[in-house]
Structure formats: C-alpha cells, structure tokens
Structure 1
Amino acid sequence: MELEAEPETGTGDVFRRQAWMEWTDPAVVEASIRWKEKAAVHHAELTNKLVSKAGLFEGAKVLDLASGTGEPPLTIASIIGPSGKIVASEISEALVDQIRRRTTLAGIPNLEVIQAEASALPFPDDSFDVVTCRLGVMYFAPVQSALAEIRRVLKPGGRVALLAWGMPEQGSYYASCIFPFLMRSGISPPPADAPTPLRFSPPGSLTAELQKAGFEQVSETREVASLTWPGPPEELWRYLYETATPLRDVFDSLSTAEFKEAYAEAMALLGPLFDGKETVVTAEVVVGWSLGPLVEQARRE
C-alpha cells in the first residue's frame, strides 16, 4: 500500500505534497524502473562520490534514503560486507518492490528494504553508523524535519553524507538538456526552499541546513562529475523527460513550435558529446557530510 501524505497545513506541507505526488507518480515510477540499468551507469560516478564521503567500513550499519531502483544501496552492500547491513528506503511501494526483487536476484542478504518517508523514519534512536542519500535531499519537505530524523537515528558520532546537484552553469548537462527549454518557458524561479533539483546549488546552502539541524563538523565539496549515458542523445533526453518530474512543467509549457526549436538546440549541443556508443555530459554535484568521529575510529580499526 502506498503511504499517504497528510493534509496540507502550511507552505511546508504544500511542498511536501508536491514532492510526494511527483515521486510517486505511476508513470514516473514505471519509467524509473524501465531505465534502471542505464540510469545506474549514468549515475555511477555520483554514487562513487557519495560513498567516498560516507566513511563506509566493513560491518557498518547504513541507512540510505530515497533509494530509487536500488542504487546506491547495492553498491554500499558490497562495501560494508556480509557483517554489515544496509537499509534502503523509498516512499513508492512499486520502487520498494523493485529493490527487493533486485536484491533477491543478486543474492544480497545484508540489504533490507522498507517503505518510509525521510521525515518519519521507523527506527529507534541511535540505530545507524551512517545515513546516505543521493539526489534526494533536495526534495525533503520540510528539510529540517528530515534532517532531525536523520540525526535522531544516527548513533552518536555517526556520519551523514548527502549528494545534490550543484551550480547549473558548471558542466554541460543543464546547458544542453535543460537550458534550451528553460530559456523559452518564461516560468518564474521557484521559492528558494521549494523541493526542486537546484535547491542546494548555491555554495554553502547544504552545510547551512546541516548546521541548523545540529550536525557538527560539517563539510561540503563541489566537483564536476561525468554522467555517461550508454546510448544516443535522444535517448538521454527521453530518460530525463520521463523521470525528472520537477522539470516537466518547463518542458510542457512550450508551444509545439517552441518545443521543436528547443529540442533541436538541445540535440545540436548534445551531438558532439556522443561517440557513437555513449553520450557523456558533465554536471557539478555537491556532497555535504558530517565528520563522524565514530565512523573515523571504526575505519582505523
């Protein structure tokens, strides 16, 4: 059964329902499952950048939020080994079922899957060594409620590592796939605290939220990552359209003529990035994390 969002009582609840409806939309979930193998390749470098800051160690107990179709939990399971445990969480029942099927097929005994929202985690205090999230923190609404829950379920000295999109001007991804449509849309920028892909793109914004939530010794790194799509530009853009639901209003706001013009521009920009097998775009990502003395000690032992 799908979890149900509570009635709206204010701006934060409106944003929460918006994010909820976007990421449990059956069409979006179906597309995410259909594209899962190629998406894993596309986001592989992002997964690596996240786990490099997560301080994972053999035997760690890890919670991953907004786990999508199974990454990064599948990668994390291989790092922490059979003595560790990774819990993957999603709000969509269909995605939870998908991760469970992949876990069974892969024969991974230390990966558990639950249906849960980041702002209401069904775990006792001090349950995990590490909490991770790849490209999900932007949609937590309200974000402080989710961060408070993360802090609650972390063991004292545990580590949180969160990855989000950085500045859109850095790299070719936004310039080629999104800007041609955005520039023609005339859509006003959303409020700064709205659950959108670029919510934490301004430098320092992610660490500021972590500090506000009470995390100590927080850091933030920004790097331009390569996103390799194992296919042509047209396929990459179709994947983006079908799964990046927060951008759908931008794409669908254009007239037929405007859309054709924007699409032609996008393909012209993406064409040189296709080598006949792969389309490689780049984008800045930001990883915010807390130092986590417990994790550092465990990694040294």
Structure 2
Amino acid sequence: MESHGVANQKTAHVYNTAADLFDHPANTFWNRFGHSTIERIGLRQGDQVLDVCSGTGASALPAARMVGSDGRVVAVDLAEKLLTRAADKAQADGLENLEFRVHDMLALGYPDGYFDAVVCVFGIFFVPDMAAAVKELWRQVRPGGRLAITTWGPDLFEPANTSLWQAIRQQRPELYKDFNPWDRISTPKGLLDMLAEAGLTEVHISAETATHALSEPEDWWTLAMGSGYRGTLDQLNSEQLQKVKQANLDQLVSQSVTEISANVIYAVADKPVV
C-alpha cells in the first residue's frame, strides 16, 4: 500500500490536470450526487459543515445555501484548481459563508466535535487507510451531528469503463487496471465493514441504482478526461491516446450506448449524544 503522502500527490496532480473539463456539461453527475448527499443529512440554518474532497463545490455549495448566512462551510481539497472553480461559483452565487482550504483532509487541525456535519463525496477511497480517515473525520463531528460518506456502487460507468480499459491494454498493457480504489467499498456490505472498522456501527446505508446519460459518445471521452481516468490517459503519447479514444468510442457506437451506469451508495452516521 502506498503512503498517504504519495497518494495525496498523485490525486492532486490528476485532478488539477482534469480541472479544465471537470465542470463540462457532460459531467453533471458531480452536482447531481453532491446535492443528493446534502439533502440526506438535514442541515439547519447556522450549522457548521466540513466538506472534504470538495472538487468544484458539488456538495459544499448546496450545503452553504442550506446553512445560511449564520452557518459556515469549510471546503477542502488537494486540487487547488478545483477549489478555485468552486470559489468562483460561490462568488457568482453571492455565497459568503464558505472557506476554501487546499489541504490534506487528515491534517486540518480542528478540535473534537467542531462541526455539525462532515461530508465526503467520492473521495474517501483515495486514502490508502480508509478506516483511519473515517476515524479522523468522525472525531470532528459534534455529538448529535452527522457524517456523510458517499461512494460509487458496482459497475461504475459500464459499459464504457470496460471498453476504455480494454483499449488502454491494447496500447499499453502495463497501464491496465482491473481494480479501482472504490471497488473496496462498492457494495453496502463493503462500505459497512469499512465503517465498522472505523468504529461506526449505527449507519444508515442507501444504495441507489442510477445512470448517466450520454448525448453522444464524445460525452464519455469528456467525462474520462475530466475525472480520475486522466491520470492514466496522460501517460499515453498522442498517437496512443488517439487510438484509445477511437477504439473506445467506436465500441460505444457499435453498442448504441446512450447511458452508462452510475450507481451510488450513501452512508449517513449520527453521532450519539453522550
């Protein structure tokens, strides 16, 4: 298992590189599932919220709207370019109750029980020791507060995902992956087991079967270049990249693919009042 510091560096680089396409209209799933996560935790006016792995604000911005001017949202991400986009959105929406921190979510330094809610959408799986990360986030939730962890369910972005990796394997076999970090927690049991390892046993789990529409096959390529796949795709030279793209999109066309799976698992844990 690679170190937390190395994992941080890789994640920051990939998502800073992908920032130019992160908010493309083809990638609406970030906002869709970020907003859905916030809807599940019952935020109130005046709440203090920590949102880690914030990206461009898919969960932080709706949280800021819900907690109002008396509340506050701290949005944290390793990728400075993503947070810059989030800050621009907040300014455009007139939201002044957000603080943006380019920082390691496990070294923020807040006291125990500092936040009414802590949120992590599509990010906990980037940490090599997920249970340790959850413990650190849980520590910062006040008694009576909530922790929300959202992750991908099974068969993410299929059938486009498998087609992409097959095309990559044809060009660069050593880059092929048959395992993604979120696979460790892509079932309710897997997620519950990890949370139990972190000491959370009273957890509400909701598995949502969802799809993401593609208006054209090119939308899939935009998604791939504006997400975590970018770390692998950037290791291809221009000729290899073009061949991977062509093979991948030709496969989608031949299968008449107009949507891909985007299954999600939401976990919400209420911290007992001692």
TM-score bracket, normalised by the shorter chain, equals 0.7 to 0.9
In the alignment, the residues of structure 1 paired with residue 61 and residue 241 of structure 2 have an alpha-carbon distance, to the nearest angstrom, of 41
User: Aligned match of 1:116 in 78, 103, 106?
Assistant: 103
Q: Which residue of 2 aligns with 1:298?
A: none
User: Aligned match of 1:144 in 96, 106, 131?
Assistant: 131
Give 1:42 shift.
3.0
Check the 8 A contact 1:120/1:146 in 2, yes or no. Answer: no
> Structure 1, residues 97-142: CA drift from partner, whole Å, max 9, x if none?
3322322232111111112212212211111011111111111222
User: Aligned match of 1:237 in 221, 234, 237?
Assistant: 221
Check the 8 A contact 1:67/1:89 in 2, yes or no. Answer: yes
Give 1:39 shift.
5.9
Residue 166 of structure 1 aligns with an amino acid whose one-letter code is G
RMSD, matched Cα: 3.0
Q: Does 1:24 align with 2:12?
A: yes
- Counterparts of residues 54-69 of structure 1 (less than 5 Å): 54-69=41-56
Identity of aligned residues (%): 23
- Counterparts of residues 249-288 of structure 1 (less than 5 Å): 252=236, 260-269=246-255, 271-273=256-258, 280-288=259-267
* TM-score, normalization by structure 2: 0.82
CA 1:210–1:86: 2 relative to 1, 3 Å: same
Check the 8 A contact 2:152/2:186 in 1, yes or no. Answer: yes
In the alignment, the residues of structure 2 paired with residue 250 and residue 202 of structure 1 have an alpha-carbon distance, to the nearest angstrom, of 30
CA 1:259–1:47: 2 relative to 1, 3 Å: closer
Q: Which residue of 2 aligns with 1:174?
A: 158
> Structure 1, residues 188-235: CA drift from partner, whole Å, max 9, x if none?
644xxxx72423113311122222212241122111123346x53203
In the alignment, the residues of structure 1 paired with residue 26 and residue 50 of structure 2 have an alpha-carbon distance, to the nearest angstrom, of 21
Give 1:259 shift.
6.0
In the alignment, the residues of structure 2 paired with residue 233 and residue 259 of structure 1 have an alpha-carbon distance, to the nearest angstrom, of 10
CA 1:204–1:240: 2 relative to 1, 3 Å: same
In the alignment, the residues of structure 2 paired with residue 256 and residue 68 of structure 1 have an alpha-carbon distance, to the nearest angstrom, of 27
Residue 9 of structure 2 aligns with an amino acid whose one-letter code is M
Give 1:151 shift.
1.4
* TM-score, normalization by structure 1: 0.76
CA 1:198–1:247: 2 relative to 1, 3 Å: farther
Residue 19 of structure 1 aligns with an amino acid whose one-letter code is A
Give 1:146 shift.
1.4
Residue 199 of structure 2 aligns with an amino acid whose one-letter code is G
Residue 237 of structure 1 aligns with an amino acid whose one-letter code is W
Check the 8 A contact 2:21/2:225 in 1, yes or no. Answer: no
Give runs of ≥4 in structure 1 deviating > 4 Å: 249-259
CA 1:250–1:218: 2 relative to 1, 3 Å: farther
Q: Which residue of 2 aligns with 1:198?
A: 183
What SS does structure 2 have at the residue aligned with 1:59? coil
Residue 152 of structure 1 aligns with an amino acid whose one-letter code is R
What SS does structure 1 have at the residue aligned with 2:183? coil
Q: Does 1:248 align with 2:227?
A: no
What SS does structure 2 have at the residue aligned with 1:54? coil
- Counterparts of residues 92-111 of structure 1 (less than 5 Å): 92-111=79-98
| Residues 143-152 or 195-204, more deviating | 195-204
| Residues 114-123 or 68-77, more deviating | 114-123
Give 1:286 shift.
0.8
In the alignment, the residues of structure 2 paired with residue 239 and residue 211 of structure 1 have an alpha-carbon distance, to the nearest angstrom, of 33
Q: Which residue of 1 aligns with 2:212?
A: 227
The count of aligned residue pairs is 265
In the alignment, the residues of structure 1 paired with residue 224 and residue 243 of structure 2 have an alpha-carbon distance, to the nearest angstrom, of 20
